[in-house]
Amino acid sequence: MLSEIIDPIASLLALGGPVVSVIAGLSVIALALVLVKAGEFFYCGIGTPRKARSAVELWQSGRPGDARNCLAAPKGAAERAVAQTIGLLEARTPKQDIEERIGVMAAGDLHHFSKGVRALEAIAQVAPLIGLFGTVLGMIEAFQALQSAGSNVDPSALAGGIWVALMTTAAGLGVAMPVSLVVTWLEGRLEAERVAIETLTSSLLMQQFAVTGEEPRAYPEQSLAYAR
């Protein structure tokens, strides 16, 4: 049963040559990264900070103990930011210090969760180019064979060489398209997490410092820009 799956794959790799083998290797790396990042995002709730929102609601309703318990073991960037904000508010830390410390921590967390996404983006961009490169090499070989044959041209052999050459482009596109969709999804989750950090922590600060009449200050762009 296993040989029925492995044999066709091995024959395609042998037929496509080193270019298809390289694309196959990239597909294995991409699959591993997708599984790791998807598992990490689901486990940490990246882009869906339900616990962080619940903690903010508990804090704003006058239940600080329940808010702390809700985030007793924060996993995602938004959960860590809200838990840190609550702790700093209870310690009566000045507003400016809270904003700076949360901004630095959030930038580091988002940068951590973005690791691997750039590699997937690179694979999505490079795989079609490698496939096109293989097609160009295959077409060169096919037309060299055509020139060498002279008047004794075998159309079936020429067609076989051309479809083998085009197979590398198809393999590259077959890897790039699904990886591009996954990268878009991962980046969307990261952006949603970043927005959740800003909105949830700002709502905590707004309520806490409303009596002073002080306007909440947005996070410095330089703190979060590289993590987007």
Compute the mean pLDDT over every residue in the chain, rounded to the nearest whole number: 81
Helix or strand run (H / E) with residue 176: helix 155-208
Confidence of residue 3 (pLDDT cuts 50, 70, 90): low
pTM comes to 0.78
Tokens (6 digits) for 124: 């999505």
Q: Could you tell me the end-to-end alpha-carbon distance of the chain, in angstroms, rounded to an integer?
A: 46
Is the Cβ–Cβ distance between 76 and 42 less than 8 Å?
no
Q: CA-to-CA distance for 48 and 118, rounded, in angstroms?
A: 21
The string of pLDDT tens digits covering residues 167-213 is: 888 889 999 999 999 999 999 999 999 999 999 998 888 877 764 44
Using DSSP's 3-state secondary structure scheme, residue 46 falls into: coil
Q: Would the pLDDT of 58 be above 70?
A: yes
